[in-house]
Structure 1
Amino acid sequence: MRGDISCANSVLIQVSKHPCDRLVGSAHSILRHPSMPAGCFLLMWESLRRGEPFGGYLQNRAFGDAGYWTFTIMLPLGSSGHLSIQMNPNGSEYLDLARAAYLAVRPIELAAREQGISGRGAAKLGRRQLLRQLRQAGFADYQDFLSAAVTAEVTGRSHFTATPTFAGTAGATTALSDACAALSSQFDGSWDRLSEFETSIAAFRQEVRQFDQHRTDSRRVLHQQRMAAATRVRHPDVILATAWAEMTSEDAGDVAVRLAARLDRLDVSVTKARVAMALALIQLDAVAEHAAEVAGRSAAQCRSTTALGALVRSLRSTAGWAMGPSNDALVEAQRIMETVAAARRDMEVPRTLLDDRAAGPSGNRSRE
């Protein structure tokens, strides 16, 4: 699968130091730095073939062989190819992790090539080694790493959560500016809600642990009360506490198991929504930059208008994809909150009965 550059904006021209006429029509490999593992690009093309976005830290090569790092998002555009958005990395821990992984993997690929292994074979080897490096760092797979990295990149940039500005826009781009401002406002609210969900999930998990502890406490009380029953000692409080423990012990366990499974699913939904929202915010920012260029005619000679059209189409698709998981997560989080509240109410039978009577009845006693 070959990727040729069909358009570029002034930022890429400035950073890469390649003139527009040299970039357009060339393969993306014109920007590939020799220190980058082939396995990383194999992961990229596999994602694009599946119709999925790809993101990662790439070291590019500028004209004259100077290297520079980017955080790059690749978005599939169907039969129209794909869209690449590159930005300066935020300097997060994930960039350091990627650098270390590439340093470990690239020599393995080069050694494989020296042994006569094909370029594709070396790339497959590099992909395996790269995924192994990420697993050792605590990530389940590359998608897990991308989820963390893209969220960190967006979170660390305040301008991604601000309404984009379109300096010098007029005419059609004014309408585009208004549409993007509306999208930005919608994304801001969704991004904040998703951040709150992540905090809520941690709180819900604490509730689940408390339900488990409740089941343990209830079983302990049941054991103590059965021991008391063996001595034929009865007291109304003991009878009530025993009945309550019998009814709620297994209920608490069932609630804990069901909630744990639902929280796992919610965690996945929130992560997907955050990634989709982050991609949408990155595209929104890119639309703003390209629209300003088109309006100012600063990069018309490098087909920035073509890029703007592709960006708008991609943003429209990503926005719908982002809002779906976000809304689903909101609904499920609300349901879980209701379940937790109901379980909490059911378990609010005075715990003092357990605390006061756990060691055995006192006060007035009745014997059978």
Structure 2
Amino acid sequence: MAKYAVAPTGRARTFGENEIIVSKTDLKGRITYANDVFLKVADFTESEVLGQPHSIVRHPDMPRAVFKLLWDVVEAKREIFAYVKNMAKGGDHYWVFAHVTPSLNARGEIVGYHSNRRSPTDAQVAAIEPIYEALLAEEKRHANAKDGLAASRRLLEDTIAKTGMPYEEFIFAL
């Protein structure tokens, strides 16, 4: 299935504070499991997402630097928490507070990834949005995508460093 060529609508979707979006992927980031909450919020059927790259729900407002950080951490066999703006099949968006972990086999090798996502508060979204807007603007400022990603990653690191907190504290302080 090709990635959906859908433009963002600007309409927000929500899910309940007691609901959890769950998905699992293989080593390449292809979806191997999606729970009913994921399917409902993203407005996909199970057959539409299984085997597809998790980026099927990627919103164009998300800075690449955030995903680079996420992948760097989970590939190092550590967990990460991150705010992510996703896009449903029809172009609506929804924010999540994601907890992503690598899935390890008995030998300690990564065999896939697992993510649980909760609905963030309006205040948390309001705190992270301007940071993500600045990161995305920095990425777009560069003609070369690789240079844009590197500059955005430096900006993310500088933004966090200015708080005097490590990333893990910073993300929970929002």
Q: TM-score range by the shorter chain?
A: 0.7 to 0.9
- Residues 210-241 of structure 1 show CA distances to partners (whole Å, capped at 9, x for unaligned) of xxxxxxxxxxxxxxxxxxxxxxxxxxxxxxxx
Aligned equivalents of 1:145 and 1:2: distance in 2?
A: 29
Do residues 70 (structure 1) and 96 (structure 2) align? yes
Do residues 86 (structure 1) and 112 (structure 2) align? no
Give the C-alpha shift of residue 52 in structure 1.
Answer: 0.7
Match of 2:132 in 1: 102
Q: Which has the higher contact order (CA 8 A, sep 6+)?
A: 2
**CA root-mean-square deviation:** 1.7
Classify 1:121/1:81 alpha carbon distance in 2 versus 1 (closer, same or farther; 3 Å).
farther
2:81 is aligned with what amino acid? Answer: G
Aligned equivalents of 1:100 and 1:122: distance in 2?
A: 18
- 2:81–2:168: 8 Å Cα contact kept in structure 1? no
Find runs of 4+ consecutive structure 1 residues off by over 4 angstroms: none
TM-score (norm 1): 0.37
Give the C-alpha shift of residue 147 in structure 1.
Answer: 4.3
Aligned equivalents of 1:124 and 1:4: distance in 2?
A: 25
Give the C-alpha shift of residue 134 in structure 1.
Answer: 2.7
1:108 is aligned with what amino acid? Answer: E
For 1:320-335, list aligned pairs within 5 A: none
Q: What percentage of residue pairs aligned between the two structures are identical?
A: 27
1:91 is aligned with what amino acid? Answer: D
Match of 1:190 in 2: none
- 1:54–1:75: 8 Å Cα contact kept in structure 2? yes
1:104 is aligned with what amino acid? Answer: A
For 1:261-272, list aligned pairs within 5 A: none
**Number of aligned positions between the proteins:** 143
1:29 is aligned with what amino acid? Answer: S
Match of 1:237 in 2: none
Can you give the 5+ residue segments of structure 1 that lack an aligned partner in the other structure? Answer: 150-368
- 1:42–1:124: 8 Å Cα contact kept in structure 2? no
Match of 2:168 in 1: 143
2:173 is aligned with what amino acid? Answer: A
- 2:70–2:80: 8 Å Cα contact kept in structure 1? yes
- Residues 239-290 of structure 1 show CA distances to partners (whole Å, capped at 9, x for unaligned) of xxxxxxxxxxxxxxxxxxxxxxxxxxxxxxxxxxxxxxxxxxxxxxxxxxxx
Do residues 133 (structure 1) and 159 (structure 2) align? yes
Match of 2:38 in 1: 12
> Which of 75, 81, 94 is equivalent to 1:55?
81
Match of 1:158 in 2: none
> Which of 8, 12, 32 is equivalent to 2:58?
32
Classify 1:143/1:124 alpha carbon distance in 2 versus 1 (closer, same or farther; 3 Å).
farther
Classify 1:60/1:139 alpha carbon distance in 2 versus 1 (closer, same or farther; 3 Å).
farther
- 1:32–1:59: 8 Å Cα contact kept in structure 2? yes
2:167 is aligned with what amino acid? Answer: Y
- 1:131–1:141: 8 Å Cα contact kept in structure 2? no
Aligned equivalents of 1:20 and 1:139: distance in 2?
A: 43
Aligned equivalents of 1:18 and 1:121: distance in 2?
A: 34
Can you give the 5+ residue segments of structure 2 that lack an aligned partner in the other structure? Answer: 1-26, 105-109
Larger Rg: 1
Aligned equivalents of 1:99 and 1:132: distance in 2?
A: 17
- Residues 306-365 of structure 1 show CA distances to partners (whole Å, capped at 9, x for unaligned) of xxxxxxxxxxxxxxxxxxxxxxxxxxxxxxxxxxxxxxxxxxxxxxxxxxxxxxxxxxxx
SS of aligned partner of 2:149: helix
1:146 is aligned with what amino acid? Answer: I
- Residues 129-182 of structure 1 show CA distances to partners (whole Å, capped at 9, x for unaligned) of 12222334x243322313435xxxxxxxxxxxxxxxxxxxxxxxxxxxxxxxxx
SS of aligned partner of 2:97: strand
Aligned equivalents of 2:82 and 2:118: distance in 1?
A: 11
TM-score (norm 2): 0.75
For 1:188-207, list aligned pairs within 5 A: none
Match of 2:10 in 1: none
Match of 2:4 in 1: none
Aligned equivalents of 2:65 and 2:116: distance in 1?
A: 20
Aligned equivalents of 2:70 and 2:141: distance in 1?
A: 22
Give the C-alpha shift of residue 83 in structure 1.
Answer: 0.2
Give the C-alpha shift of residue 95 in structure 1.
Answer: 3.0
